[in-house]
Amino acid sequence: MIARRRMAGRRLVRTAAATAVIAGTATAVGGAVAHHQQGKYDQQAYEQQQQQMAEQAQQEQYYAPPPPAQPYPQAPVPATGAAGDLTAKIQQLAELHNSGVLTDEEFAAAKQKLISGG
């Protein structure tokens, strides 16, 4: 009877040892698989990031910022026939007068000459 108990005890120890070996192997394999999957995930994330950066650089290459807005752009005065030409010439004289190129007398004389048609 003692021999049977010893045999049963040895079987139990062998079974426990085999189970421990199998469990350890499964844990090691599971860890290796998880590590491999994480590596694949990291590689995919890296490739996606590189692709996004390349697309962004390409978009920036073709993007031209709009010209700066001017506060009050001056529209050109449309010249309509002789009256438009006369107005434009008087405006030119006024600009010369305001900038100091023409004196008051010179401006008045040139303006009168234009108005009189001479």
pLDDT at 105: 92
| pLDDT mean over 55-65 | 71
What tens digit of pLDDT does each residue of 14-42 get? 876 677 677 677 676 676 677 777 877 77
81 φψ region: left (φ > 0), alpha (ψ -120 to 50), beta (else): left
pTM given for the model: 0.31
CA atoms within 13 A on the CB side of 47: 6
pLDDT at 80: 53
- Lowest mean pLDDT across 11-20, 88-97, 106-115: 11-20
- Name the average pLDDT for the chain: 75
| pLDDT mean over 34-59 | 80
pLDDT at 9: 65
